[in-house]
């Protein structure tokens, strides 16, 4: 009977070895902020998504089609950086427009496609790129980044349509 | 008592119910550890100044619309203790079910609070169409302990049209890595 504590102790000895082997317990090293993985964000109604962000949002008052109910995704990057994607879809014509807003300026770079510089709403420097699947227009204004992504099944949206969507964005919060 | 320990033959110990329960709990803990690492989608990677390193980030997701694995390998090099240069990123998709799509890849400079890089070259493209993708990045982020730069790749489990018909099944997965300098 007196050997029971020792037996229990011995049966647990392998746990620290396994933890060491898989790296959960490491030698002392500089401390780093642990990032909560932004894993698997579900789509949600626009109204509830807007309640979870605190930066200015612009929504379209005109689109080249009549969309179904929009779907939104809020992505939490490290250090309080947030991106909201708002999808407007017309399933019948297989067309969609996505408005993505990030609460930081973003530098858009393309390795494979030519970036076309444009002036958005008469005052902001923006870039337009067509990757053969979607057409994208992005620019920074008032410390945030806005990107319009659009696509339709028959032929690409011209830059003029994306600029027209940009011209009809209205600040809602 | 000490003499008893010295003469102990552990293989001769009776495997009573109490011991068996402890072993079961231990086995459960072991399974949890393995499961956690198998599905981790973020990683912390470090390198010494002047050396190249690769950050191997594995993600697996399975939901109502898709089942896929994705490996993102970021190659980086700290030129000095206060900066990290991103050389390139390589992606290795493996789709078992559904048709997930890429959106954009981001590099965040958390020292200067700036998104220094966003590449959407593969935005809207299906993972199924590729076995591997490599993109040159070539940007440098500031570094200080606790303000690590991060890379993030967003993958959607379906295209917007599928999402419009099944909005509650639609998800965006963010595969993220964090980088630090191993100071001498």
Is residue A151 one of the residues assigned to a domain?
yes
Whether chain B has a CB inside 8 Å of the CB on A30: the answer is: yes
Judged by a CB distance cut-off of 8 A, whether residue A43 touches chain B is: yes
Contact B178/B42 with Cβ under 8 angstroms?
A: yes
The complex's ipTM works out to 0.77
The pLDDT confidence band at residue A81, using thresholds 50, 70 and 90, is: confident
Range of lowest pLDDT (A11-20, B25-34, B161-170): B25-34
In a domain, residue A28? The reply is no
Q: Nearest by CB to A131, from B13, B121, B180: name it.
A: B121
CB contact under 8 A, B163 and A31: no
SS percent in chain B: helix, strand, coil, step 5:
25, 50, 30
Contact B78, B181 (CB under 8 A): yes
**CATH number, position A142:** 3.30.200.100
Give residue A77's pLDDT.
Answer: 78
Are A105 and B22 an interchain contact pair (Cβ–Cβ within 8 Å)?
no
User: Does a structural domain hold residue A23?
Assistant: no
- What pLDDT score does A129 carry? 97
Domain positions in chain B are 39-181
Q: Which of A3, A8, A35 sits opposite B178 (nearest CB)?
A: A35
Q: Do B173 and A111 touch (CB under 8 A)?
A: no
What was the pLDDT predicted at A38?
47
Interface A-B, measured as beta-carbon pairs within 8 A, has a size of: 181
What residues pair up with A150 in beta bridges, in sequence order?
Answer: A97, A135
Q: Which positions in chain A touch B122 (Cβ < 8 Å)?
A: 131
Is the residue at A166 inside a domain? yes
Mean pLDDT, to the nearest integer, of B102-125?
Answer: 95
A92 neighbors A152 (Cβ within 8 angstroms): no
Give the pLDDT confidence of A83-114 residue by residue, as tens digits: 999 999 999 899 999 999 999 999 999 989 99
pTM of the model: 0.78
Beta bridge partners of B32: none
Cα separation, A128 vs A137, whole angstroms: 4
Q: How many CB atoms lie within 10 A of CB A18?
A: 15
Task: Find the mean pLDDT for residues B144-155.
Answer: 94
Give me the count of residues in chain B: 184
CA-wise closest residue to A93 among A151, A152, A134, A149: A152
* Least confident interval from A77-86, A160-169, B102-111: A77-86
Look at chain A and report how many structural domains it folds into.
Answer: 1
Would you call A37 and B1 a contact, using CB atoms and an 8 Å cutoff? Answer: no
Give the gap in angstroms from C-alpha A43 to the nearest C-alpha of chain B. 6
Query: So what's the pLDDT on residue B80?
Result: 97
- Cα atoms in the Cβ-side hemisphere of radius 13 Å centred on A157: 26
Residue-range definition of the domain harbouring residue A127: 44-171
């Amino acid at each position: 009977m007196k050997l029971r504590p020792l037996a229990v102790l011995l049966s647990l000895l392998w746990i620290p070895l396994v933890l060491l082997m898989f790296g959960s317990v490491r030698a002392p090293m500089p401390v780093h902020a642990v990032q909560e993985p932004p894993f698997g964000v579900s789509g949600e109604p626009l109204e509830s998504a807007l309640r979870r962000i605190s930066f200015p949002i612009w929504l379209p008052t005109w689109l080249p089609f009549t969309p179904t109910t929009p779907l939104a995704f809020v992505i939490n990057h490290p250090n309080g950086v947030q991106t909201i994607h708002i999808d407007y879809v017309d399933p019948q014509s297989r067309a969609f427009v996505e408005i993505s807003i990030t609460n930081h300026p973003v530098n858009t770079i393309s390795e494979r496609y030519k970036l076309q510089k444009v002036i958005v709403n008469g005052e902001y420097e923006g870039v337009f790129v067509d990757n053969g699947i979607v057409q994208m227009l992005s620019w920074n204004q008032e410390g945030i980044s806005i990107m319009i992504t659009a696509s339709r099944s028959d032929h690409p949206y011209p830059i003029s349509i994306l600029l027209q969507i940009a011209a009809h964005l209205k600040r809602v919060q | 008592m000490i003499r008893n320990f010295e003469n102990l033959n552990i293989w001769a110990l009776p495997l009573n119910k109490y011991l068996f329960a402890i072993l079961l709990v231990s086995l459960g803990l072991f399974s949890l550890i393995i499961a956690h690492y198998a599905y981790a989608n973020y990683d912390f990677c470090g390198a010494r100044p002047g050396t190249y390193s690769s950050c191997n980030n594995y993600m697996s997701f399975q939901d109502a619309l898709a089942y896929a694995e994705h490996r993102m390998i970021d190659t980086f090099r700290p030129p000095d203790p206060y900066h990290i240069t991103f050389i390139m990123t390589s992606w290795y998709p493996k789709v078992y079910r559904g048709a997930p799509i890429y959106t954009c890849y981001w590099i965040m400079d958390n020292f200067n609070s700036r998104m220094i890089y966003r590449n959407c070259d593969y935005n809207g493209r299906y993972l199924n169409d590729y076995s591997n993708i490599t993109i040159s990045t070539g940007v440098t982020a500031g570094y200080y302990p606790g303000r690590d730069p991060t890379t993030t790749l967003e993958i959607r489990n379906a295209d917007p049209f599928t999402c419009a018909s099944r909005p509650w099944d639609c998800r965006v997965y963010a595969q993220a890595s964090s980088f630090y300098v191993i100071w001498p």
